[in-house]
């Protein structure tokens, strides 16, 4: 029983972090058909800004988190205006923006390398203490991460389902031309989505670095896993991505316990292959069926 | 004669340097039903897209109540009151019928509750289906939802692109009953239709579009009295 509690606690923490990392990626793909390869670098940038805000600027952790989210939202906007907007006007947008965001990600990573150096730095945003369930000691840090992730996921769900701006985002992701005919300014929606994605990436980066350490390349692994979650859920399906992220987090925690840490990533990749063979459009993706 | 709501003055438009519409000149008068008929692939849908700002107008002008709208973005054109119900509906399939109707009022949400009541009164099937996702509706219901969504926008000019396309005859009758009722209520309607016979009796003015040009304009009865035109251009 204790083992099960441990696996569930670790799995939920991992899943929550993957979910927050994935929501932004999935929103951007759903709206713009854009695989944002700079997502991992933005995530890392969020972690470093939070670190700098607490250590160098002396801000309290909550303000530091907001500052990181704000700056990364601005980076999202910068990506829209500097790369996505001009490339949207040309052909082969998906390929071009894929390559462009690899370049942008590389620039951000190198700036962080220059600014903070290559060595791991601990993230000062730490919650001390632990919760004891049975014989299992769960760090409060994990509970905090889970709580932040749940708040963010609920906030994003309310935004998408209950607000006019959220409906415009969903409408644009379903059919850009139809959204335009409803009066939606799709350029503004794209900018909003990239800004929101940047802010979510920042929070994700802060959470991940708070249980690991900060390095300029730390975003690579979570971004890869966020892509895996996106593919398993069905590209662009935000709600499916949250469920898939939690499920993959639990699977990873179970694999780490049963087979060892080195097998967890291989197991995830194997799962992606199996899902793609079984349902090429993802677990929650849908084939386009038109009724006449 | 009613004054023109929408005027298209020598407008040309097309995609990627290819001209599809060549110096089109026509107008949709206030409170009237203006129809554009013509064979498939001759520019009817492109004309509506050009009016909505989705296809660039390369020369000429499009005016709404005398003000140019051909340099505006699609969302600005919707805000001015030119609403299009596109061919094939282009509903938002994962949204409910109610959410699709709310999207119709995205640019103008004044009197939202009254407008929803109006649409549900006109299209009662939509009220029954209000919580059903649009992707699960039948073809006729989808078309009704598309028209309802267009009506939710309010707007001055309602443009409908082949509302009967792909539907069973009984459903087509229902759809056209709704359109002709709107006409009787004084809506300004610009209707694209392949089947001239279907709308000849009700249209105030018909324009025949052939190879991107207006080949003939006149009343419905006049068109039906010219069998050589109907046979040549419309294949009836």
Write the pLDDT tens digit of every residue in A199-238. Answer: 999 999 999 999 888 999 999 988 988 888 888 888 777 8
- Please state, in angstroms and rounded to a whole number, the distance separating the CA atoms of residues A269 and A290: 32
Contact state of B54 with A181 under an 8 Å Cβ cutoff: yes
Any domain includes B116: no
Neighbours of A59 (CB within 10 A): 17
* Total residue count of chain B as it appears in this document: 236
Distances (CA, A) of B144 to B101, B174, B176, B190, B196: 11, 9, 10, 17, 21
The pLDDT-based confidence of A283 (bands split at 50, 70, 90) is confident
Partner residues linked to B28 by β-bridges: B6
Any domain includes B3: yes
Residues of chain B in contact with residue A88, where contact means CB-CB under 8 angstroms, are none
pTM: 0.87
The pLDDT-based confidence of A292 (bands split at 50, 70, 90) is very low
Give me the number of domains chain A comprises: 1
Cβ atoms of residues A191 and A66 within 8 Å: no
Any domain includes B236: yes
Contact state of A181 with B109 under an 8 Å Cβ cutoff: no
Any domain includes B153: no
Any domain includes A237: yes
The confidence score (pLDDT) of residue B188 equals 94
The confidence score (pLDDT) of residue A180 equals 95
Which CATH number does the domain housing residue B69 bear?
3.40.50.300
Q: Which residue segment(s) compose the domain that B63 sits in?
A: 1-80+192-236
Any domain includes A100: yes
Any domain includes B219: yes
Q: Which residue segment(s) compose the domain that A213 sits in?
A: 2-278
Q: Is the pLDDT of residue A49 over 70?
A: yes
Any domain includes B200: yes
Contact state of A177 with B103 under an 8 Å Cβ cutoff: no
Any domain includes A286: no
Any domain includes B124: no
Distance from the A166 Cα atom to the nearest Cα atom in chain B, whole angstroms: 11
Chain A residue with Cα closest to B159:
A181
CA quadruple A137, A140, A200, B102: dihedral positive or negative?
positive
Contact state of A171 with B92 under an 8 Å Cβ cutoff: yes
Mean pLDDT along residues B162-182: 86
Cβ atoms of residues B135 and B58 within 8 Å: no
Complex prediction ipTM: 0.90
Ranges A71-80, B35-44, B107-116, most confident: A71-80
The pLDDT-based confidence of A291 (bands split at 50, 70, 90) is very low
Any domain includes B95: no
Chain B residue with Cα closest to A160:
B95
Any domain includes A76: yes
Residues of chain A in contact with residue B137, where contact means CB-CB under 8 angstroms, are 291
The confidence score (pLDDT) of residue B71 equals 92
Residues of chain A in contact with residue B99, where contact means CB-CB under 8 angstroms, are 167
The pLDDT-based confidence of B46 (bands split at 50, 70, 90) is very high
Any domain includes A290: no
Distance from the B52 Cα atom to the nearest Cα atom in chain A, whole angstroms: 7
Nearest to B92 among A164, A175, A180 (CB): A175
Cβ atoms of residues A76 and A199 within 8 Å: yes
- Please state, in angstroms and rounded to a whole number, the distance separating the CA atoms of residues B155 and B162: 19
Chain B residue with Cα closest to A165:
B106
Which of A22-36, A54-68, A273-287, B125-139 has the weakest average pLDDT?
A273-287
Any domain includes A291: no
Distances (CA, A) of A173 to A179, A212, B94, B202: 9, 34, 10, 38
Which CATH number does the domain housing residue A6 bear?
1.10.3470
Give me the number of domains chain B comprises: 1
The pLDDT-based confidence of A290 (bands split at 50, 70, 90) is very low
The pLDDT-based confidence of A287 (bands split at 50, 70, 90) is low
Any domain includes A81: yes
The confidence score (pLDDT) of residue B236 equals 55
Residues of chain B in contact with residue A164, where contact means CB-CB under 8 angstroms, are 102, 106, 109
């Amino acid at each position: 029983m204790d083992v099960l509690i441990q696996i569930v606690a670790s799995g939920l923490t991992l899943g929550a972090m993957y979910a927050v990392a994935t929501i932004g990626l999935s929103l951007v793909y759903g709206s713009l058909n854009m695989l944002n390869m700079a997502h991992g670098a933005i995530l890392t940038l969020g972690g470093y800004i939070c670190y700098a805000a607490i250590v160098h600027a002396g801000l309290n952790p909550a303000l530091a988190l907001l500052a990181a989210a704000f700056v990364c939202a601005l980076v999202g906007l910068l990506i829209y205006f500097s790369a996505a907007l001009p490339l949207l006007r040309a052909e082969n947008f998906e390929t071009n923006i894929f390559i462009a965001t690899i370049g942008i990600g590389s620039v951000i990573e190198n700036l962080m390398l220059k600014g903070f150096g290559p060595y791991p730095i601990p993230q000062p945003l730490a919650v001390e203490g632990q919760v004891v369930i049975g014989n299992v000691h769960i760090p409060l840090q994990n509970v905090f991460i889970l709580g932040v992730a749940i708040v963010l996921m609920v906030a994003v769900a309310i935004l998408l389902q209950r607000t006019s701006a959220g409906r415009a985002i969903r409408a644009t992701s379903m059919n850009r031309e139809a959204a335009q005919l409803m009066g939606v300014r799709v350029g503004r929606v794209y900018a909003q989505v990239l800004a929101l994605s940047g802010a979510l990436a920042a929070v994700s980066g802060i959470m991940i670095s708070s249980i690991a350490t900060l390095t300029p390349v730390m975003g690579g692994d979570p971004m890869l896993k966020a892509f895996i979650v996106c593919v398993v859920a069905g590209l662009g399906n935000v709600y499916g991505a949250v469920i898939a992220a939690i499920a993959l987090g639990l699977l990873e925690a179970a694999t780490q316990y049963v087979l060892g840490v080195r097998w967890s990533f291989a197991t995830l990749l194997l799962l992606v292959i199996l899902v793609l063979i079984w349902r090429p459009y993802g677990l929650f993706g849908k084939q386009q069926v038109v009724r006449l | 004669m009613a004054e023109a709501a929408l005027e298209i003055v020598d407008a040309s438009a097309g995609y990627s340097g290819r001209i599809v519409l060549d110096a089109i000149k026509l107008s949709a008068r206030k409170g009237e039903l203006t129809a554009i008929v013509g064979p498939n692939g001759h520019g009817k849908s492109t004309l509506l897209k050009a009016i909505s700002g989705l296809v660039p107008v390369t020369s000429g002008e499009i005016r709404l109540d005398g003000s140019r709208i051909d340099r505006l973005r699609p969302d600005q054109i919707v805000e001015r009151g030119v609403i299009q119900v596109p061919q094939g509906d282009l509903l938002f399939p994962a949204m409910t019928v109610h959410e699709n109707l709310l999207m119709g009022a995205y640019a103008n949400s004044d009197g939202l509750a009254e407008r929803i009541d109006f649409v549900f009164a006109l299209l009662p099937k939509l009220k029954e289906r209000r919580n059903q996702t649009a992707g699960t509706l039948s073809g006729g219901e989808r078309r009704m939802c598309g028209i309802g969504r267009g009506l939710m926008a309010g707007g001055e000019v309602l443009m409908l692109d082949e509302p009967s396309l792909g539907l069973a005859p009984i459903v087509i009758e229902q759809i056209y009953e709704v359109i002709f009722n709107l006409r009787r209520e004084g809506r300004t309607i610009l209707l694209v239709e392949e089947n001239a016979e279907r709308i000849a009796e009700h249209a105030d003015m018909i324009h025949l579009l052939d190879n991107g040009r207006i080949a003939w304009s006149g009343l419905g009865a006049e068109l039906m009295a010219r069998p050589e035109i109907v046979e040549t251009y419309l294949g009836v």
